[in-house]
């Protein structure tokens, strides 16, 4: 798994990645809430539910490159399969893709589980 990450950014870049992960997660969950308030439609709700679960994983910073890629794929699926306003999905697909490319940052579970460890002797 460490091959997926070049480094885990710390300091201001790490804070920026944390804020980007939190924003993306909040938008994915908000998008689910908006679609749950609409009249019952099964397929759009399932895709938004999957995206919201991936948003929770992004908020924790767990499996960020994989989850970011899946967010981009699911949001592109939402854009092409559902009618209506596509701009929120375009933004979420872009955020997911950028998180997949950049990585989670130092303040994430990925950094804790897969980061470099110091061996004390």
What is residue 57's predicted lDDT score, i.e. its pLDDT? 97
39 is a domain residue: yes
52 is a domain residue: yes
Show the tokens assigned to 109.
């579970």
Give per-residue pLDDT as tens, 41-91.
776 788 889 999 999 999 999 999 999 999 999 999 988 887 667 899 999
34 is a domain residue: yes
14 is a domain residue: yes
**pTM summary value:** 0.86
40 is a domain residue: yes
Give per-residue pLDDT as tens, 95-111.
999 999 998 888 899 88
Q: What is the DSSP letter of 118?
A: P
SS3 25: helix
119 is a domain residue: no
Query: How many domains are contained in the chain?
Result: 1
3 is a domain residue: no
Q: Is the pLDDT of residue 36 over 90?
A: no
Residue 55: which domain range?
8-114
Q: Is the pLDDT of residue 16 over 90?
A: yes
89 is a domain residue: yes
Virtual torsion, Cα 24, 30, 33, 35, nearest 10 deg:
-80
Number of CB atoms found within 10 A of residue 65's CB: 18
């Amino acid at each position: 798994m460490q091959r997926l990450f070049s480094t885990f950014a710390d300091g201001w870049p790490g804070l920026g990645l944390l804020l980007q992960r939190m924003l993306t997660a909040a938008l994915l969950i908000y998008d689910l809430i908006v679609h749950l308030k609409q009249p019952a439609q099964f397929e759009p709700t399932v895709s938004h539910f999957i995206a919201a679960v991936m948003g929770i994983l992004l908020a924790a910073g767990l499996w960020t490159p994989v989850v970011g890629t899946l967010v981009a794929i699911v949001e592109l699926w939402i854009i092409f399969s559902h009618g209506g306003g596509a701009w929120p999905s375009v933004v979420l697909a872009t955020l997911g893709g950028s998180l997949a490319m950049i990585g989670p940052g130092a303040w994430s579970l990925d950094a804790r589980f897969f980061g470099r460890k110091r061996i004390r002797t």
